[in-house]
Amino acid sequence: MIQFIFKGIIRDRSRSTLPIIVVSIGVFLTVLLSGWMKGIFTDMIDMNANFSTGHVKIITRAYAENESQIPNDLALLGTDTLVPLLQKQFPQAEWVERIQFGGLLDVPDKNGETRAQGPAFGKGIDFSSPESKEASRLNIQHSLVQGTLPTKRGEAIITDDFAKRFNVKPGDKVTVFGSTMDGSMAFKTFIVSGTVRFGSTLLDRGAIIIDLADARDMLDMDNAASEVLGYLKTGQYNDEEANAIRDSFNTKYSNPSDEFSPVAQTLRQQNSLGQYLDMAENMSAIMTFIFVFAMSIVLWNSGLLAGLRRYTEYGIRLALGENKGHIYKTMIYEAILIGIIGTIIGSIIGLAATYYLQEVGLDFSSMTKNVTMMLPPVYKAKITPELFYIGFFPGLIATVLGNALAGFAIYKRKTARLFRELEV
């Protein structure tokens, strides 16, 4: 029977072309939008993790309460023993130290006098260690506009927007004014080795990135760090693994009554990222439901129209003695085959479009200039395993549901009226 129905679909295109097109379009949109939304949320989560939160972050309890103020007087101490301890007990993650600081960036003229000044956000990361992945993690190499990465102590990179605003070029000197860990005044002059543009307004307004050793020297933070970040070696945030690390660490080493006691936080607990993770997880289900509902209505109407066109066919089949239930069953089988064909076509096209957006993406940087959230400038899709089967839910369910609703018209055919129609 299936072979007979399939031949009917292929040979009588008047009853299959429109439903297949509708299913293909619906599945295409489902796959494409699911992949794009997944990519957007993944990129946003990864960007926040790489620049700010890590997959797991360890800071002091007091620092956590005032984190927006970057209170380095409440920073972690004894990191030379803390980091090896973390590496030994939680080898599933890579642990890195970072120093955050704020201050004033001073640009001198040829006489050493102040030519321009501007507020800047500073970050101290490990540039010097051969095994360090910090530069690649922050995508600094690909974000360089001018110059090179720091190769020795006393060099720094600044954001290109800041450099253009104050006419700073690689090789020029800038001085950072801030406060040390103990609250006294701190200042240090750096040679600009290069400029970067991350594409995020929050980062590009004014930032300076220096080596971790230089940051410690400038801020009197020997054997200290603002935070220790853990990155799962799989490269992707996993809530279960991160929670296991957090719970284990806090149970062993965190003391709620000591404000300088270290405390571990997962990515989900920071910057409201938990809401975005939940949204990313639910987006595909929401979109699938919407398309199933919308396509069911469209295919219901399509089924009704097809039923009207095939009204005589159903009448002749009933007059020949075919059971109504059998006719209805063949309609459902036909809908399943149409749904499978449309789903395969729509999935192939959707995956191709998703792959294109994964490689190229769409640049929305001009629309996010005034956004203070850490967002990627280019929104890319992401092909995930579920995209290979997610289209079957709207493709099959909507097609079968639409035809099932339209097929009830068969049971309303009256035998007496049927013979009058045939006599005419």
1-23 pLDDT, tens digit each? 666 566 666 666 666 777 788 88
Under DSSP, the state recorded for 67 is G
Give the separation between CA 2 and CA 192, rounded to whole angstroms.
Answer: 72
Using CB atoms within 10 Å of the CB of residue 177, give its burial: 0 to 12 exposed, 13 to 18 middle, 19+ buried.
Answer: middle
Mean pLDDT value across residues 79-99 = 93
Q: Pull the structure tokens for residue 319.
A: 């007059």
Listed range (249-258, 345-354, 389-398) with the worst mean pLDDT: 389-398
Mean pLDDT score across all residues of the chain: 82
pTM of the model: 0.74
Cβ proximity of 38 and 283 under 8 Å: yes
Question: Is pLDDT above 70 for 129?
Answer: yes
Q: Classify strands 114-125 and 207-211 as parallel, antiparallel or unpaired.
A: parallel
DSSP helix/strand/coil, 180: coil
Q: Per residue in 46-64, pLDDT tens?
A: 888 888 889 999 999 999 8
Asked whether the predicted pLDDT for residue 279 surpasses 80, the reply is: no
| pLDDT value at residue 352 | 94
> CA 329, 18, 31: angle at the middle one, nearest 5?
95
pLDDT digits (tens, 9 = 90+) for 291-309: 767 766 776 666 566 555 6
DSSP tally for the chain: helices H, then strands E:
16, 14
pLDDT at 219 over 60: yes
